[in-house]
Structure 1
Amino acid sequence: MVGPKRHFLPLILVSLAAFIFYTLHHSSLPLDIPESNLTSTFPNPMPTQSPNFTFLINVLAFNRLAAVSRCLRSLAAADYLGDRVHLHLHIDHFAPDNASSLDAKLRESHRILDFVDGFDWKFGEKVVHYRTANVGLQAQWLEAWWPASDHEFAFVVEDDLEVSSLYYEFVKTLIINFYYDASNYSPSIYGVSLQRPRFVPGKHGNKLQLDDQTRLFLYQLVGTWGQILFPRPWKEFRLWYDENKAKGNKPFLEGMVTTGWYKKMGERIWTPWFIKFIQSRGYFNIYTNLLHERALSVSHRDAGVNYGKTAGPDSKLLEERSLDFNILEMQPLSSLKWFDFCFREVHPGKIVTNLEELGSLLHSLQKRDSVFLVNLFGVSDAITRNLLCHFERLDIRNYILMGPPSDSLFDLARRGHPVINVDQFINSVGLYKFTSQGSSFDTMKGILAKTYVIKKCIENRYNTWVMDGSMLLTSDLLSDSGDPNNDFFVANNFELFYAKSSSSSEKLWVDGFVSKVVATTESLAGKDSPTHGRLSFVYIVTKLLEQNGARITRVDETSFGTKIGSGNVSESSLRDKKLVYWSTEMELDSIQKWLKELNLWSIDGDLSCTAVVCHKS
């Protein structure tokens, strides 16, 4: 299964310099990210002293007295370390749908109210919310909590849960380490699940398998059997939900089992909404891997909304007598693994700024595949996100996005897409002193960055495709890379280039060749140059390769790709084509209109993919 308080001083505003300093140190990522590169949706709410936060337990109950009594007794048996912890009980009202059972329902509700009224909670305030009408599980979750500050956390507990007496000490240690420690903080984390991970919602996804050494990991899926929620992401979700619900949008996410649940159960459940939000934002949840089917919270899966009849405990409760490791030992965030809805590992924060970092990135890619280098200069966020959705559909995992420093580029890195900050990358190889400015300057930087990346790819035995963001792949390119005896493949009209990793291409693509590209680029960029209009990577590199006797395949562009924007183009006309492309002068609205007509527009209003496509790793 998959599947939410108040009090404290507001966060003191810090200066911009301090914000940048903290943000720099929030990276948990394998490559060092310069402070000017890293932006955060939520700055780390670093306290000036030891963290003092509010912890609220929200118990969601309905008509199961035995379940709620078991749940509350387990919560009261936990060690709260002398902290004040508040208990809020949300009791849903029954629906008066059958007059013959009305008296029985009244008696059951009153028995539950009598029990919770008499229940002794000695750790903090106890508040009971008894509803006047039946609202269902979705409203119970969504209305349970609105954070009063950035230092308030909610532990949402459905009434058929039982928790370990160790849970609070673990959660407190984790919050201190991953929310308040700048070196371990990430704005991508929305909470902590205490349940045993046991479900992959992406259809045809990988099995949920972890090695015995993994104690903590990050996974996109929300867990309704013991979920701790962080304040800012929850507020963001509630506002997102309000907007989408008001506009009549549905949380459909094709390729997800949970979408089928929603189509069957509708607004009785809330998790498809949260899952859609998480997918659109690229957020993650912290999970435990306690081995031997153990967990800090266990669902007894009593009969109710989710189960027609009682299914019994889903896991074994971890207690002190069964501990065979230090549960409070927290690994640094930089060493934890991150997994998406398909349970594929992702690597957030890969921002390349120099050749050494590029080498590290290449070593992390799959050796069997070619690398796609995508130029994002002048490409909108929507076009980029749509391209990435098609990469997912085609199972293209080896790609690098290159562009100028921007919030959108760094957000792509936060979400797990490897990127090159071209400005810093070019500066690192000593090629920043150009005389040209404006669009020519950007073009020059892009040409030189592509040249260096291809050289590094060839050295690391990767074939390389270089493409602009102003094109969209519709099928596998690898089967059409031309004559297998040739090392290079070019398509001038849509700036497509292919370099094979071979001994002959490596001999051509040496430092001397790179220097010639630099010199030719600067020469063509001159304002008085008659060839100024040919300031193109494919044109320059092809010309120099020919001068060096390289074997090059030139593609028949009309049969390889289709240009949109004029003439008659249909889905049937794309069957034998590898890509569509368009003029860089074309407006976004026109591009979107054409791609929608061709069934190639795969993002929604949040610029997130309309489907999750799982491929076995």
Structure 2
Amino acid sequence: MIPKSRLLPLFLLSLFSLFLYSYYHSSLHLFAPETVDSIVNPTNSPSSYSNHPGNPILVPPNFTFIIKVLAFDRFDSLSRCLRSLANADYGHDKVHLHVFIDHFKEVDLRNGSEVLSKKLEESSRILDFVDGFSWRFGEKFVHYRTGNVGLQAQWLEAWWPSSDDEFAFVVEDDLEVSPLYYEFLKALISNYYYNSSNFSPSIYGASLQRPRFVAGKHGNKLQLGSGTRLFLYQLVGTWGQLLFPKPWKEFRLWYDEHKAKNIKPVLEGMVTTGWYKKMGERIWTPWFIKFIHSRSYFNIYTNFLRERALSVSHRDAGVNYGKTAGPDSYLLDESSLDFNLLEMLPLSNLKWYDFCFREVIPERAVRSFDELNPLLKSVQKDNTIILLSTFGASQTVMRNMLCLFERLDVRNYILLGPESDFLLDLARRGHPVVNVQQLLNGVGGYKLMGSQGSNAKLIREILSVGFVIKKCLDSHYSSWVIVGNMVPISVDAFSIANEPSYDFFSARDSGLLFVRSSAAASNIWIDDFIYRVAEAAKASMEDNSLSSEHRHFVYFASESLQTNGVRIKKINELSFGVKIFSNYTSHTSLGDDKKIIFWPYGRELDYLQKALQSSGMWVVDGDSSCVAVVCHHS
């Protein structure tokens, strides 16, 4: 039996324990379930952290934020920049400051002793100021170079991330930042980097400068609605750029490889390429822009209206400006803040724009017939859709095809293929794709085909393309089918089917088929017909009676149509286009009347590349990305 003298302490201890338990669990209820899990189980990945309205901005314990200030010989600019950084609100966070001071260029002592003295004096003045500058928020690090390296090296050598939780905010010395900038960037990192539901590997960072410039020649005007505060745009911003660690490491390795191989960052159709041809290695942005283009990466931008921004460049005289041009924007601060700065929409609600400021819609990957209908409606042009089969085509050849489509402004296409990294990457880049395995799960008879290996691959191609054509007919759309062994020469390559007496046009051996939207075609193209095409293919593959050049959808569909007595208009390849023969050696004469280049199905890549290069129709580079940005007004 417990003595009465000990009951009171035990009772008080129990009350205190109950209070702690209740407080702890009520506090956890303030956070989303994934955040609670990350607190209780600290071994979870950083992606479980997220920001929620009304709660603190959450980042993992090893989150590191480093400010990289790039300076040269502008004392007044640097002092203004550092003071604005020190005046920002960092809460209780540890934020590091790294200042990189480039050395002045060598001076000819025979005629420039006075100039040398002034430069030495200016350098000492800058170093004295930086040494005495108080940074109470974290580590202050100063790197004073022994020789002049220029702006490119200042950027490229400023940072190598030590972890995937380290972020760099790079500012040149003529910048001034808002006191609100850090809280905004931290919230942005929490929302779009650590929140797995908002994360995209296509995002390489965020720019705080006011968007003003479209880099693609003849691109659209940079116009945004008043309700758009955040959007994504491919162009890097040099006036206050936040960099994410993984894309920056990837860029540095890409840069090293291309620099070592003497591959220049030339991207035709870009204003920035003109800068590079004029200024060469004095600037770094053309390198990063070429990298962004090859990977299809995007940058988060702000749109705060009335020319306001969280980072303002004073455009002082230097590498980029011969003479001082003055502030490019108005600095957003507490006195001019008339909205919730930390309110950030889900990533799925933000708009994405390419270098031409043309909207891009990423992750358009169809996995069911219910998802297919709205996609068909969104891509069709003049009630016509182009279906690109990726089954038998080289990835590089298919990317070349898409670059030619961009050059001709052909946008009414869909790619169909088996699930693969290639298909997923195309979807990430904004190309509409159909995952045929998942699509065919909704087709009851698919499992009855029972094929293996290459036979199964052909059957999947026939069934998926066949049923997508049927969906097009149901929606009153005509469709072209291309199996990867042709490229369009002219913009009217897909407008030849103008004879109303025919519903089907075919270049059987070259893998090109047109199905007109009509009642007659719909009556023919039914489920039973599609399965008969697949059965015919299966039988031919099993008895090995078919050459490899005919193992594609168009051949079997054309054969089955003829077997059923359907009238097909045969496309005369030599009058309609140019056919690359096996003995092709000389430059191809395209002519004004030619619309398409054909080649035998399954032709080797090296052979095709040389043949198409001689015709000016090979438009991908060593990164399998387009050699040019071609802007067409939306």
Does the alignment reach a TM-score above 0.5?
Answer: yes
Identity of aligned residues (%): 61
- Equivalent position amino acid for 1:295 in 2: A
Alpha carbons 1:197, 1:287 under 8 Å: kept: yes
| Corresponding position of 2:604 | 587
User: By how many angstroms is 1:523 displaced?
Assistant: 4.0
Residue 594 of structure 2 corresponds to which residue in structure 1? 577
CA 1:274–1:504 in 2, change beyond 3 Å: closer, same or farther? same
Taking the aligned partners of 1:112 and 1:558, their CA distance within structure 2 comes to: 72
Provide, for residues 569-616 of structure 1, a one-character-per-residue CA deviation record: whole Å limited to 9, x for no partner: 533245432222223332211111211222211111111111111111
Which residue in the other structure is 2:60 paired with?
A: 51
Residue 549 of structure 1 and its aligned partner are, at CA, apart by 7.3
Are 1:560 and 2:576 counterparts?
A: yes
Once the two structures are superposed, what CA deviation does each residue of 1:183-240 show, in whole Å capped at 9, x if it has no partner?
0111111001001111110001111111111111111100000000000110110111
Give the C-alpha shift of residue 504 in structure 1. Answer: 4.4
Within 2, Cα distance between the matches of 1:549 and 1:379? Answer: 30
- C-alpha distance 407-45 of structure 1, shift in aligned 2 (>3 A): farther
Residue 522 of structure 1: which of 535, 543, 546 is its match? 535
Deviations 1:407-457 (A, max 9, x none): 111111111111111122122222133222222221221111112111222
Which residue of the partner structure matches residue 69 of structure 1?
79
TM superposition shift of 1:366:
4.9
Deviations 1:32-83 (A, max 9, x none): xxxxxxxxxxx98526895231000000111111111111111111100110
Structure with more relative contact order (C-alpha pairs < 8 Å, separation 6 or more): 1
Per the TM alignment, residue 525 of structure 1 is displaced from its structure 2 partner at its CA by 1.5
User: Quick check: 1:279–1:608 contact (8 Å CA) kept in 2?
Assistant: yes
Measured at CA, do residues 543 and 309 of structure 1 come closer, stay the same or move farther in structure 2, by a change above 3 Å?
same
Give, as a single letter, the amino acid of the residue that structure 1 aligns with 2:209: Q
Aligned to 1:281: 295
1:201-600 equivalent positions in 2, closer than 5 A: 201-368=215-382, 370-430=384-444, 431-475=446-490, 476-509=492-525, 513-526=526-539, 536-542=552-558, 545=561, 552-564=568-580, 565-567=582-584, 570-573=587-590, 575-600=592-617
Match of 1:60 in 2: 70
Deviation for aligned residue 1:107:
1.1
> Hey, what's the Cα distance between the residues in 2 that align with 1:227 and 1:197?
12
Secondary structure, aligned partner of 1:183: coil
Amino acid at match of 2:153: A
Q: Which runs of 5+ in 1 are unaligned?
A: 1-21, 23-42
1:82 match: secondary structure: coil
**Please, which of 104, 121, 134 is the counterpart of residue 120 of structure 1?**
134
Q: 1:353 touches 1:420 (CA, 8 Å); kept in 2? A: yes
TM-score normalized by the length of structure 1: 0.89
**SS, match of residue 184 in structure 1:** coil
Q: Secondary structure at the match of 1:479?
A: coil
Q: Which amino acid aligns with 1:489?
A: F
CA contact (8 A) 1:436 1:525 kept: yes
Residues 536 and 589 of structure 1, relative CA distance in 2, 3 Å threshold: closer
Closer, same or farther: CA 528–240 of 1 in aligned 2, 3 Å: closer
Supply the AA of the counterpart residue of 2:323: K
Moved more, 357-366 or 533-542: 533-542
The 10-residue stretch of structure 1 (318-327 or 158-167) with the greater mean CA deviation from structure 2: 318-327
Q: 1:294 to 1:391 in 2, by over 3 A?
A: same
CA distance in 2 between partners of 1:107 and 1:194 (Å): 34
Q: 2:69 aligns to what SS in structure 1?
A: strand
Give the partner amino acid of 1:537.
F
> Which residue of structure 2 lines up, in the alignment, with residue 93 of structure 1?
103
2:187 to 168, 173, 187: 173
Would the alpha carbon gap of residues 97 and 571 (structure 1) be closer, same or farther in structure 2, given more than 3 Å must change? farther
Runs of 5+ consecutive residues of structure 2 not aligned to the other structure: 1-33, 35-43, 50-57
Q: Which amino acid in 2 is paired with 1:554?
A: K
Cα pair 2:486 2:598 within 8 Å, conserved: yes
Q: Is the 8 A contact 1:367 1:462 kept in 2?
A: no
Q: Hey, what does 1:82 align to over in structure 2?
A: 92
Quick one: distance in 1 between partners of 2:600 and 2:568? 25
**8 Å CA contact 1:201, 1:341 repeated in 2:** yes
Alpha-carbon shift at residue 97 of structure 1 (Å): 2.9
The question of 1:197 aligning with 2:207 is answered: no
CA distance in 2 between counterparts of 1:135 and 1:50 reads 36
What CA deviation, in whole Å up to 9, does each residue of 1:310-363 have, x standing for no partner?
111111111112112111011001111111111111111111111111112123
Range moving further from structure 2, 598-607 or 74-83:
598-607
Q: Deviations over 1:75-119 (max 9, x none)?
A: 111100110000011111111235241111111111111111111
| Alignment match, 1:32 | none
Q: Does the C-alpha gap of structure 1 residues 306 and 122 become closer, same or farther in structure 2, counting only changes over 3 Å?
A: same
Deviation at 1:551, TM superposition (A): 5.8
Query: Structure 2 vs 1, CA of residues 410 and 191 (structure 1 numbering), >3 Å: closer, same or farther?
Result: same
Deviation at 1:541, TM superposition (A): 3.6
Give SS of 2:534's match: helix
Change (3 A) 1:380 1:549: closer
Distance 1:232 1:463, change over 3 A: same
Out of 594, 604, 608, the residue aligned to residue 625 of structure 2 is: 608
Match of 2:84, SS state, is helix
Q: TM-score, length-normalised on structure 2? A: 0.86
